[in-house]
Structure 1
Amino acid sequence: MRLHRLAAVAAILALASTACGSVEDDAADTGGPAGQTSDGDAAASADDGPVTVTDGRGEEITLDAPATTVVGLEWGVIENLVSLGVMPAGAADVEGYSAWVSAAPLDDSVTDVGMRGEPSVDAIVGLDPDLVVATTDLAPNVVEQLEEIVPVLVVRAAAAERPIEQMRDNLTLVAEAVDRSDQADELLADLDAALADGSEQLDAAGVAGDRFALADGWVEGNTVNVRAFTETSLAGAVAEELGLESAWELEGDPDYGLAVTDVEGLTGLGDVHFVYYSNDVEEDPYATLEGNALWESLEFVESGDVHRLPDGIWMFGGPRSVEQLVDAIVGTLAA
């Protein structure tokens, strides 16, 4: 996802193309070739009749029939398609998706159509899709160019004022376009059950109501930049749904609820569960702080309350990624 709206230093844009941009379940669970369900039957047929949906821009999109050959241009919507049982014909940055999103793996039939911010129109057209699914992070001129050729469904990438609800809305909207509303209902019901169960486990472990700070980060020169997932981020809102209290006093950006600070900015956190994730196995940014006097003096470091989450959890994804996050948080704090 491109974090061009993030109210922070320009350095975060570099992170957005790597840490935010550039395991495997049984393939039968996530679908077969593009446009096929897991049992090989067509995902939908022309006999199903026309489908009209209103997308995140307020634009009305009408399809002759539920889409079966779909291209996804952002990892969240790609995850939703796979989770719904529709393996996309094409996806943006397949290698990056496979590294960062383990909840809904792609199969070998999926064609890479370029980077998320700069997809190849030629590659997309070559797949002859019924529908392209993008987000509001994609430049409007690219959307307009694609719309001259193929219907484009645009969902709002994120909404800090209602992060969990926006995630749910995006799944529901994509499901309507591919005739998978029943599957969407099942996914959301599973998520609700996971949240309720996770909350019960944290309560039983005596950590309900504890202060919690989730972050990722990156190393720039000799500095570790800390990216905070505030209470208005999707991950932060999930933690609060589990009964934890966000310790971040930083204000997140209006879309993703993210904020940037440094190690000195952690001094006000006090006694918290500090939880972070880093898909970069070569340079864990927080491991590089070992021996740093300021880091070592932090209360949660002194008490050993620092935890790294498993790799491959996409913090900006759909229900399956959120379930992974729930499992990771509960497994870390209720162990």
Structure 2
Amino acid sequence: DDDHADHDHEDDEDHMDDDDHMDDDHALTVTDGSGREITLDSPAERVLCVQDNCTDLTSDLGIVPVAMHRGDGWGSFAAYYGEGAAAIPVLGDRMSVEEVAQYEPDLIIGRVGEEEVRDALEIVAPVYLVDIGGVETLKEGWIDVGLLTGREDEAAAAVARFEANVGGLAALLPDGAVDTRVAVGFGDTNWMIWDSSSFCRFLHAEGAGTCVFPDQGVSEWGSPDSEFSWEFILEVDPEVWVMITWPGSARKDTVTAEVWLQTTAHREGRVCEEDSAGSFGHGLLMLQWAYQCYLNAGWPDLYDYPGDLSVWLPAGR
């Protein structure tokens, strides 16, 4: 009897080992943009967004978040979800662990640079941080979240759409476009010239232009910024200006500085008002939209401007 009991116990242990192995086989594991490994036992069904890049991603993959980070218009979820955005809860400005927990998410999406938010919220659910530093890291974020949500096909299709759209736009670029001097600026009373790292690198890699900005240190946000200088603008004379705008900000027809009026960009009307308050490099959809805006400002006879983000959304959104 003891031998029989031992045999049954061994069978039970073997069976438990098999179950553990099966669980491992079905686990979903990725490494996020911050280098941290994220593992889910099953695809996430309740996704919560704590940064603007997340709504760009979720809409591209056909996911409706259980809650989102804010409700105003610039670069925010209303552009992605249209009338349906009103039905999606908005997190408060002073987001708390308790507030997030009430939505019972099984995956939270933020962005690299928000590690403190991740550290606070990971007691609620795993937190995936997207690296918004460049096109390739954005693609990796799309593919990873596709895996974690059981939407691998949708993620692959989104990346393929991006590549096809951008390739189609690049095919029309005139010779020498890469040498076009581009300024990315924003302001209300305090103007700045911004390197907008991911967008500027993207433009240059596509052969579409070269951003100009003064020598400067690294800002608290991790990318070079500087106080705006009209002297610098006069020196470099931007040929195309990407003006990041938001409600209440300066716009091309409200700037009265003489130097602005003298720039090639202003004289030739090659100005793109990019109404996202700087979130235009935070996702593949917003990047395509900003790129189209820039191209239309630079070469309006070659590129139509779609007028809104919806042109880039997957069919049926």
**TM-score interval, smaller chain:** 0.7 to 0.9
Count of residues paired in the alignment: 272
What secondary structure sits across from 2:280 in the alignment?
coil
> Which of 64, 82, 105 is the aligned partner of 2:41?
64
Matches within 5 A, 1:65-80: 65-80=42-57
Distance 1:300 1:101, change over 3 A: same
Shift of 1:178: 0.9
User: Which amino acid is 1:270 matched to?
Assistant: D
What secondary structure sits across from 2:275 in the alignment?
coil
TM-score (norm 1): 0.71
Shift of 1:202: 2.1
> Which of 243, 255, 258 is the aligned partner of 1:276?
243
- In the TM superposition, what whole-angstrom CA distance separates every residue of 1:96-127 from its partner, at most 9, and x where no partner exists? 56657724556333211223xx4222221111
Shift of 1:139: 4.8
Gaps of 5+ in 1: 1-45
| Correspondence for 2:165 | 194
| Correspondence for 2:86 | 108
Matches within 5 A, 1:26-175: 49-96=26-73, 99=76, 102-103=79-80, 105=82, 107-115=85-93, 118-140=94-116, 142-156=117-131, 158-159=132-133, 163-175=134-146
| Correspondence for 1:214 | 183
Distance 1:226 1:144, change over 3 A: closer
Give yes or no for the alignment of 1:308 onto 2:272: yes
Distance, in Å, in 1 between the alignment partners of 2:77 and 2:273 is 13
Shift of 1:84: 0.5
Q: Which has the larger radius of gyration?
A: 2
| Higher-helix-fraction structure | 2
Distance, in Å, in 2 between the alignment partners of 1:104 and 1:317 is 17
Distance 1:289 1:107, change over 3 A: closer
Distance, in Å, in 1 between the alignment partners of 2:73 and 2:269 is 30
Distance 1:271 1:78, change over 3 A: closer
- In the TM superposition, what whole-angstrom CA distance separates every residue of 1:213-259 from its partner, at most 9, and x where no partner exists? 13231122xxx5123235xx222123223322314143574876452
| Correspondence for 2:229 | 262
Shift of 1:191: 1.2
User: Which amino acid is 2:71 matched to?
Assistant: V
Distance 1:309 1:272, change over 3 A: same
Shift of 1:76: 0.4
Distance 1:145 1:317, change over 3 A: closer
User: Which amino acid is 1:323 matched to?
Assistant: Q
Conserved? CA contact 2:75–2:279, under 8 Å:
no
| Correspondence for 1:32 | none
Distance 1:164 1:256, change over 3 A: farther
Distance 1:300 1:145, change over 3 A: closer
Identity %: 18
Distance, in Å, in 1 between the alignment partners of 2:264 and 2:56 is 38
What secondary structure sits across from 1:267 in the alignment?
helix
Gaps of 5+ in 2: 1-22, 301-317
